[in-house]
Each structure stands twice: as structure tokens, then as C-alpha cells.
Structure 1
Amino acid sequence: MDQSRVFRPMRPCGRWLVLSLLTLTSACTLGPDFSRPAAPAQEGYIRDPISATVAAQGQAQRFLPGAEVAPDWWRLFQSASLDAVVHQAIANNMTLRAAEASLRQSQDTLMAGYGVFYPHLDVHAGADRERSAPIQQGLGTKGSIFNVVTLSGTISYTLDIFGGERRTVEGLQAQVDHQTWLTQAAYLTLTANVVNAAIARAAYAAQIQATEQLIELQKQQLQTTQVQVRSGTTPYSAILSLQSLIASNEALLPALRQKVSQAEHLLATLEGVVPSEVKLPDIQLSGLSLPKDLPVSLPSVLVRQRPDILSAEAQLHQASAAIGVATAAMFPSFSLTGTYGTAGSSPGSLFAGAGRFWSVGPSIDIPLFQGGSLWFGRKAAIDAYQQAAASYREVVLESFAQVADTLKALEFDAQALQKQAEAQAASAEALRLLQANYRSGLVTYLDLLAADVQLHQVNIAYLQALAQRHQDTVGLFVALGGAGGTESTPPAAGPAHEALRHSAHRFQTPGQ
């Protein structure tokens, strides 16, 4: 008989190797496989969608459903000075740098997590001087003193039979996704805050100029009234009324100048410099073009674009993976370990054949009773998933409401600006007619000054309405999530949702 074909029993090492391979091939991953929330079926955000705002100052804003948001949306204001301020902030902002560092940290943590899928190799070397105690073995002989030098290597590998390690790494990947969208939210919030602060600064400066002109006209009106009082044609109470009005308007100036300073200090912080070192270009409100065509992402696109929604989705994914980790912890864990080494009484004797030793084999840890900790740990993971699912839904609902608010705000802003423009035109025409009548001697100079004061008051209200329209336009870009949050494109750079909800340094009239 051909001895080469005689069946021989496997050696123990071979049996364990085959058993391990069979176990690996039959490995499974416990816990739910994450499924993304379905995109909403709605096609709009408000009940009666509008295609365009009313024309204010001859300019309407058109809403383009399904159009994409420009990556550098702030360029639509067509101001090179504004572009420069935004780019300076992107390059030097500390919040953005911190977010990017957190993103890198999560990526490195993920790479560290991948190490569980590879064998671990360790080397151990030791030198000991020992004294034996034969009495411990029941011998009455005298103990001896000797040296022991060892050199060994150990290789171990965790068999992820039930997928606990895979779910752990899946959770780490979800954490990277979460941090990615937090970073994108920081980027969007930064650019929006810079643009809004620049608009506010320009609006406050314009309002200061208009208020100073108004006060100058009122002082001229006061001088004329004083002449009339001295001539006996006007009661003295008219002087007191004008003095009170002038003082009230002068009281507005410190508050306006303070708001300009606050906007400049905010811009300095956003640019990563101290207020004393900030150098800001002169941005005029009149020099900012109002974007005419405004993209409006569809709801199904918004949930795949807005960073706070994607961040909440990543947290939901992370909670799903945690269920798998908790489930796998309830099952046995397996590992393979092999050790090879040598020992001797001196370093020179380490490589003598008599001192060699080795071991190889599997190990299994079976959780039999843990006082309910594993069972309730899994229930807690399920509860956390349900909480994350509710939070995701809330973020989506609030995001839709924010888009709806900005769409309505832009329509109402246009209506308000239109009426302010009509009031401005009427006041200007009234002043023109009074100027003609004054030249004809039909009205007094005081009447002419009163009309001029009225026009300047209307101009201030117009500036406020114009600034509000610009900032609500910025609000729409923020509500849509900008353009850097699309899933296919990684971002250029407190929770994301809160950042987007409170991202704007808003223009306010004094006293607000």
C-alpha cells in the first residue's frame, strides 16, 4: 500500500487551526444594520409657495426650487471687500481650527480602532535573580540561588465571531461622520456670521451718518424757531420741543457707535486677531448687491445637504452600532494566542536548545452571569437609539421650519422695503415741491426744514429695512446648509443644529 495515502490523525495544532478557520468563515455580525432615514416626500416648505418676492426698489428676488447653492454664496453680494473679509476669517478662525483638529482626532481614533482586525505581536525580555524554596514542594532540601534570563514573543488574534469589534469600528466611523458635519457646520456658521456682521457694521455706519444729518437739520430748524420766538410769532414751547427731539436723536448716536464697535470686535474675533489689530475694509451698505436668484433646495435634498441633519444622522448611526456592540457582549469571545521563547541562566545560554519553550491555542470567555448588566446595557443602547431617532426627526422638522421662516421673511422684507421706498419717494417729492414753493415765497424756511427732516427720518427707516433684507438673504443660505455639506463632497473645513439656528450677528435698531 502507498504509505503516502494512509490517513493519519491530525496533530492537535492542526485541528485547532482548521477549527479556527471554520469559525472565522461562519462569523456573523449581531445587532441591526443601519438604514438611513427615508428622505421626505414633500416638495416644498410653505403651504402657498411663491416664485418671487414683490419688487422693492425695482428689484425682486426669484426663488429657484431645486437649484444648487453656490459654494461661495457670499460672492453673490458682489463685494470684493466682503470676499476678502470672509477669506481672512476662513484662514484664521480659531473655532474652525478647533473643529478641524477634532475631526482629525476622530479620524485617528478610527484608524486606531482598525488595529483590532490585525494580529498583535509583543516581545518580552526579562532577567531575574531568584532563590528557590523546596519546602513549597514538600522537600526538605536547602534552597538555591540562581539566575533566569528569558526572551519570548507572543502573537495574539481576537476572533470577532459575533461582530462586536466590527460594530465598534462602525461606531467610530459614524463618529468621524458626525465630526465631519460638525466641522462643516462650523464653516457655514463662520461665513454667515462674517457676512452678517459686515452687513450690520455697514448698516449701523449708514444709520449714524443719516442720524447726524438729521440732527444738523433739526439744529437749523431750532435756530429758525428761536428767531421766530424772539419776534413773537412762535411760542417758546416750540423751542423746547425741538431741543427735546434733538437730544433724543443725539442719544441714539452712542448706542449706534457701540454697535459698530461690537460688529468690528466680532469680526476681529472671527478673523483670529485681537480688536486692536483688526484691519477692516470700508464696506458700504449701498455697495452690496442683493442676490436676485435664490436657490431653494428640495426637502429631499436638504436632508442630504444640511450639516446639522447629517450630523444627527451620524449620531443615529453611532447609536445603531452601539446596539450591536452591546448585543455581541452577551455572547462568548474567542482569541488565538501563540508564544515562543527561550530561557537560560545567562544571556549566552538563551539560544541553547534545552531552554526553548512554546505554546499555542485558543481561548474562550463566556459571560454566564453578570447581574443583568449586559442585558440592561443592551436595553440602554436601544433606548439611546430611540432617543437619537427622535432627535433626528426634531432636527429635520426645525430645519424645515427655518427654511420656511426665511422664505416668508424675504417676502415680508420685500413688502416692507417697497413701502419704505414709496414713503421715501413721497417725502422726496414733498421736499421738491416745498423747495419750489419756498422760492416763490409761498412757504417758510421752517416748513422746508421740516420736510427735509421728514425725508431723513424715512431714509433711516429705509436703511433698516434694506439691511434686514440682506441679512434674511444670508439666513436663507444658512437654512439651506450652504453648498459644502453635500454628501459626495467633503467639507472644506456647540452642536451643529444650535450653531445654525444662532449663527447670525443680526442688525438691530438701537434699543432692541
Structure 2
Amino acid sequence: MRSRQLLLALACALSLAGCASGPDYTRPQVDMPAAWTSEAPWRSMQPADATPRGPWWERFGDAQLNALQQQALAGNQTLAIATARLAQARAQLNVTGAAQTPQVNLNARAARSRISANRPLTNYNSPNFSTVQNDFALGASVSYEVDFFGRVQRSVEAAGAAAEQSAADLENTRLLLTAELATNYFNLRELDVELDVVRRAIALQRQALELATARHDLGATSGLDMAQQQALLDSTLTQIDLLGRQRAQYEHAIATLTGTPAPAFSITPSLTPITPPAIPVGVPSDVLERRPDIAAAERAMAAANAQIGVASAAYYPSFMLQPSYGVDSRNWATLFNAPSLLWSLGVSASQSLFDGGRLRAGVDFSQAGYEATVASYRRTVLTAMQEVEDGITGLAALERAYAQSQLAIASARRVLEIASSRYEGGATPYLDVITAQQSLLNSERQAAQLMGQRLLVSVFLIKALGGDWQSRTPPAEAAGAGPSRP
């Protein structure tokens, strides 16, 4: 009868298990604007958090960049660290989840021991004897925590959210890695164009120096024209070394990102034009569904919220089921006989009565940690809004500036042609030619820099939007596209 009552009590305990303590998780609301304050019209995107975020770099149509990105994804050590962190988080989830199932242990013992004849007595009327005997035991034990108040459930929720956060962190690391690589690559290509501009300017200035030298030798001009042109040429030659140093730094950075030692890595200069793709921009709330850093911050909130439940469950008693079954005998031959059978069935409970405020402090600590993750989440969302808005407005301004720079180059070339013709005819001083040469050099270098900035802001905007978008545009169609305008 008592055994039946005990089993009934255990069944009731199991049925009550899973009542979770602490608050259920709900994502906090964030005030979102209805639209971007950008120059219309921009196309709307179709984001989805489950959609792969790459390979967005293929939209630039650069084979060298594509190859470097694949090399970085395979060999970057920061990405390898994030991958290992995700494996750790998933393993920890398995460890925590195992607490929801009973733990079964097999126990075996074989010993020979001598009992002291002078051991303490439990009955003074019973004499003690020194005994040497064997002890053979074999049994199984079960340990299971009945989760009345949801401690185990909340622990599993926290571990699951942490694993999802690690997965989002991995996606964010991959996005940051590919964006950083593209940024360094486009900076390097911009310097290739700028170096080409400076080399062409040097060739032009050397031709002008030959002309000034010839006119000086003929006595048509003083040595001032020749000296001024030589000074301009020397100044321009200095830029080659400075630009070359900057290019080498970007090349070394790319080597590290791809997991290659810098001394064994090089990229051949190229002047192939690269045009930013058309980037669709959706409503601000779409960013919440796309950016992996926002997803990671949201999962951190869920994990912190579950920790409040874990801490709150410590207020209540914990119950452990620990049944066991086995055999014990002093002789191996009688180990499995009926008289050797032993078993136990029961429940142990533990309740804290006084802890000096430790439990309350633990709940307060978890609550404060949750509030910190909420603030971090909102800060991440606000930063995302800022980055997208900066990218949209910056790209539109750079498009206009780049178009104007092409007009400035054409005007500077026309001025140089007129100044050179008038100087050869003796109508103007050579200073006008030098000024026109410097103006053309500055205009062409500015155009190269604006080209690089357009590419960089495109990468920045793609990163701000969370990566690639659904409807892929073939590179041939995107080659002549600027900002996403119908």
C-alpha cells in the first residue's frame, strides 16, 4: 500500500514538472520610422532572416574579388573562432538539455576488506570480531530532477537562445569579414587608378619639361620656366612612393583576412572599371529581419530573460528522484541469488531557509543583466538605422559628385590645351601651363577617389542592410547601374 502511494506521489510530481518560474520572453518594442528620409524613389526589397546573406560581393562583377572572398571564407582565423564558438554553444545546449532526461548509472564493486575488532559498538551486549571478507556488488541507479518550478526548462531556454546568438554572431562575423575584405580591395583598386593618373601626369610633365628646356636652350625663355616645371615634376614623383606605400598596406591587410602570410601575398594592379550594383532599400523595419547583429542582440535578450527564471527557481525546493536496483553478496557464487537483491525508491527534497539575501541578489543580478541586453538591443537597432540612412544619403551625394568630376576633368583638359597653345605662341607665361597641369592632375585624382568612395559606400550600405537581397541581378545588367532608382 505504501509503495502504491509512493508511486502515485511520483506520478503527480512528474505531471507537475515543467511549470516555469520567471517571466516569459517577449521582444521589446522599438520605435521605427515609417520610411527612410532619402531621395526618392528607391525600390523596395524583400528581406527575410532565413534567406542566405551572400555572396553579395558577386554583384560587383569582379572575378579577383570573388576569388579573394572565397579564400577568406575558407582561411580567415576570426571566422574560424566564431565557428568554434558556435560549436561550443550547441554542445552546451546538448549538455543543458540532457538534464530533462533521467541519468542512469551502472555501478559495480569488488573488494576484500578487514573489519576492525575494536570498532565502535552499537550494542555493548554484542561483542566485536575482526572479520576478513569479500564484497561483490552490481547495480543500476537513476537520478532525475523533477522540474516543478522550471529551473531546468529555463536553463534549456537560455542555452538555446545562446546557441542561436552564436549562430547570429557567426553570420555577423562572416558579413563583417566580407565587407572588410571588399573595403580593402576597393581601396587598393582606387589607388591603382590614382597611381595610373599620377604616372600619366608624370609623363605629361616630362614632355612639358622637354619643351621648356628646348625653348630655354633656344633663348626664347628664361630658366624660370624650366625650373618651375622641374619642381612640379619632382613634387609629382613624390606621390608615387606615398601612394605605393598605402597600396602595400591594403595588400597586407587583404593577405591577413584571407589567412595568407603578407610576405607571400600580392595582387597585380588592375585598371578594370568596377561599378557599384543597384541596391534596393526596404522600409526601416526590414532591417530588423536582416541584420545578424540585431538578431544576436535579440537572442541575448532571450537568454538573459531565461536566466531570471533560473535564478527565481532557486526560491523553491528542488526534488530529486534517485531509485536504485542491484545485488550485493560476500560470495561471487551467490551474487545473483534472491537474498542478494537490494533496491531503493524515494524522493529527496532541498529547500533554502536562510541565505543572507543571496537568492534575492541572484535574481536582481539576472534582472539587471536582462535590462542591459534590452538597452544593447535598442542601441544596435538605432545604430543600424543610422548606418542605413548614412549609406543612402551618402551614395546619392557621391553619384552626383562623381558625375560632376567627369565634367571637371573634361574642363581641365581643355584648359591645359589652351594654356599650352598660348604658351607656345608666346601669349601667356609658363605658370599658366603649370597651373593647368596641376588642375588636371587634381581633377583626375579626385575622380579616382570619388570612384573608390562610391564603391566603399556601396559596401557600407550592403553591410548596413544585412547582406545580399533575394532577387539577384545578373552582373551584366548591374554593370551600368548606380543607386537603385527605376
Determine helix, strand or coil for the equivalent of 2:339.
helix
State the 1:304 CA deviation.
1.9
State the 1:359 CA deviation.
0.6
1:412 to 375, 382, 397: 397
CA deviation string 1:178-229 (max 9, x = no partner)? 1011100111112112222221111111111211222233233334444555
CA deviation string 1:330-365 (max 9, x = no partner)? 110011111112112233331122222111111111
Which residue of structure 2 lines up, in the alignment, with residue 64 of structure 1? 43
- Structure 1 contact 81–281 (Cα < 8 Å) conserved: no
Which residue of structure 1 lines up, in the alignment, with residue 290 of structure 2? 305
State yes or no: 1:119 paired with 2:106: no
> Equivalents in 1 of 2:459, 2:412: separation in Å?
30
State the 1:281 CA deviation.
6.0
State yes or no: 1:35 paired with 2:19: no
- Structure 2 contact 229–434 (Cα < 8 Å) conserved: no
**C-alpha root-mean-square deviation of aligned residues, in Å?**
2.7
Letter in 1 for 2:11: L
1:475 to 439, 454, 460: 460
Letter in 2 for 1:107: R
State the 1:136 CA deviation.
1.2
- Structure 1 contact 40–299 (Cα < 8 Å) conserved: no
Structure 1 window deviating more from structure 2 (439-448 vs 306-315): it is 439-448
State yes or no: 1:51 paired with 2:24: no
> Equivalents in 2 of 1:245, 1:369: separation in Å?
85
Determine helix, strand or coil for the equivalent of 1:296.
coil
Aligned residues: 461
Which residue of structure 2 lines up, in the alignment, with residue 347 of structure 1? 332
Structure 1 window deviating more from structure 2 (29-38 vs 65-74): it is 65-74
Which residue of structure 1 lines up, in the alignment, with residue 145 of structure 2? 158
Which residue of structure 1 lines up, in the alignment, with residue 115 of structure 2? 132
> Equivalents in 2 of 1:428, 1:472: separation in Å?
29
State yes or no: 1:195 paired with 2:186: no
Which residue of structure 2 lines up, in the alignment, with residue 74 of structure 1? 57
Letter in 1 for 2:29: A
> Equivalents in 1 of 2:424, 2:226: separation in Å?
25
> Equivalents in 2 of 1:268, 1:353: separation in Å?
74
Structure 1 window deviating more from structure 2 (267-276 vs 436-445): it is 436-445
State yes or no: 1:290 paired with 2:273: no
1:206-355 equivalent positions in 2, closer than 5 A: 206-228=193-215, 234=221, 236-278=223-265, 280=267, 283-284=270-271, 286-291=272-277, 293-355=278-340
Letter in 2 for 1:17: L
Determine helix, strand or coil for the equivalent of 1:158.
strand
Letter in 1 for 2:103: H
- Structure 2 contact 104–141 (Cα < 8 Å) conserved: yes
Letter in 2 for 1:129: R
1:159-198 equivalent positions in 2, closer than 5 A: 159-198=146-185
Which residue of structure 1 lines up, in the alignment, with residue 72 of structure 2? 89
State the 1:441 CA deviation.
8.2
Question: CA 1:192 to 1:283, structure 2 compared with 1: closer, same or farther past 3 Å?
Answer: farther
> What TM-score does the superposition give when structure 1 sets the normalisation length?
0.83
State the 1:452 CA deviation.
4.6
Structure 1 window deviating more from structure 2 (236-245 vs 120-129): it is 236-245
Which residue of structure 1 lines up, in the alignment, with residue 475 of structure 2? none
State the 1:440 CA deviation.
7.9
Determine helix, strand or coil for the equivalent of 1:64.
coil
Determine helix, strand or coil for the equivalent of 2:289.
coil
State yes or no: 1:102 paired with 2:108: no
Structure 1 window deviating more from structure 2 (87-96 vs 26-35): it is 87-96
State the 1:158 CA deviation.
1.0
Question: CA 1:78 to 1:17, structure 2 compared with 1: closer, same or farther past 3 Å?
Answer: same
Determine helix, strand or coil for the equivalent of 2:303.
helix
Determine helix, strand or coil for the equivalent of 1:294.
coil
State the 1:393 CA deviation.
0.8
Letter in 2 for 1:208: L
Structure 1 window deviating more from structure 2 (249-258 vs 311-320): it is 249-258
- Structure 2 contact 190–452 (Cα < 8 Å) conserved: yes
- Structure 1 contact 326–378 (Cα < 8 Å) conserved: yes
Determine helix, strand or coil for the equivalent of 2:20.
coil
> Equivalents in 2 of 1:170, 1:380: separation in Å?
18
- Structure 1 contact 82–283 (Cα < 8 Å) conserved: no
> Equivalents in 1 of 2:269, 2:419: separation in Å?
36
Which residue of structure 1 lines up, in the alignment, with residue 192 of structure 2? 205
> What TM-score does the superposition give when structure 2 sets the normalisation length?
0.87
Determine helix, strand or coil for the equivalent of 2:349.
strand
- Structure 2 contact 161–302 (Cα < 8 Å) conserved: yes
State the 1:150 CA deviation.
1.5
> Equivalents in 2 of 1:473, 1:238: separation in Å?
45
> Equivalents in 1 of 2:258, 2:56: separation in Å?
19
Structure 1 window deviating more from structure 2 (113-122 vs 254-263): it is 254-263
CA deviation string 1:108-155 (max 9, x = no partner)? 211121111111111111122222235411444432222212112101
1:144 to 120, 126, 131: 131
- Structure 1 contact 39–300 (Cα < 8 Å) conserved: no
> Equivalents in 2 of 1:189, 1:456: separation in Å?
35
Determine helix, strand or coil for the equivalent of 1:295.
coil
> Equivalents in 1 of 2:310, 2:408: separation in Å?
67
> Equivalents in 1 of 2:468, 2:333: separation in Å?
68
State the 1:394 CA deviation.
0.9
State the 1:405 CA deviation.
1.2
Structure 1 window deviating more from structure 2 (361-370 vs 265-274): it is 265-274
Gaps of 5+ in 1: 1-10, 53-62, 487-512
- Structure 1 contact 337–360 (Cα < 8 Å) conserved: yes
Gaps of 5+ in 2: 471-486
Question: CA 1:106 to 1:283, structure 2 compared with 1: closer, same or farther past 3 Å?
Answer: farther
- Percent identical pairs in the alignment equals 28
Determine helix, strand or coil for the equivalent of 1:334.
strand
Question: CA 1:281 to 1:295, structure 2 compared with 1: closer, same or farther past 3 Å?
Answer: farther
